[in-house]
Amino acid sequence: MSRGITSALNTVFTSDTVRPFMAVNLAFSGGNVTVWTGLGNITFASTTFIGTGEILGVSPVTENGSVQANGLVVSFNGLDSSLVSTALTENYQGRSATIYIGSLTDSYTVVSDPYVFFKGRMDKMSVSDDGENAVIKVTCESRLIDLNRNRVRRFTQVDQQTEFAGDLGLNFVESLQEKSIDWGTS
Tell me: do 116 and 175 sit in the same domain: no
Q: pLDDT, tens digit, for every residue of 6-54? A: 888 888 888 888 888 999 998 888 888 888 888 899 999 889 998 887 7
Residue 144's CB: how many other CB atoms inside 10 A? 13
* Predicted local distance difference test score (pLDDT) of residue 25: 92
> Would residue 186 count as lying in a domain?
no
Domain total of the chain: 2
Cα separation, 138 vs 126, whole angstroms: 7
Tell me: do 28 and 51 sit in the same domain: yes
Tell me: do 162 and 116 sit in the same domain: no
> Would residue 82 count as lying in a domain?
yes
Question: What whole-number percentage of the chain has pLDDT above 70?
Answer: 89
Tell me: do 125 and 161 sit in the same domain: no
Cα separation, 49 vs 25, whole angstroms: 8
> Would residue 2 count as lying in a domain?
no
On whether the CB atoms of residues 140 and 72 are closer than 8 A, the answer is yes
Q: What is the residue range of 172's domain?
A: 151-179
Tell me: do 167 and 94 sit in the same domain: no
Tell me: do 46 and 134 sit in the same domain: yes
- pLDDT score of 180 more than 60: yes
> Would residue 165 count as lying in a domain?
yes
Residue 141, sorted as left (phi over 0), alpha (psi -120 to 50) or beta, turns out to be: beta
Tell me: do 70 and 139 sit in the same domain: yes
Tell me: do 70 and 156 sit in the same domain: no
Three-state SS at 46: coil
Question: What whole-number percentage of the chain has pLDDT above 90?
Answer: 9
Tell me: do 114 and 141 sit in the same domain: yes
Tell me: do 21 and 65 sit in the same domain: yes
> Would residue 112 count as lying in a domain?
yes
Instruction: Give the range among 20-24, 91-95, 117-121, 182-186 with minimum mean pLDDT.
Output: 182-186
> Would residue 159 count as lying in a domain?
yes
Tell me: do 125 and 166 sit in the same domain: no
Average pLDDT over residues 120-141: 84
- pLDDT score of 61 more than 70: yes
Tell me: do 161 and 119 sit in the same domain: no
* Predicted local distance difference test score (pLDDT) of residue 1: 33
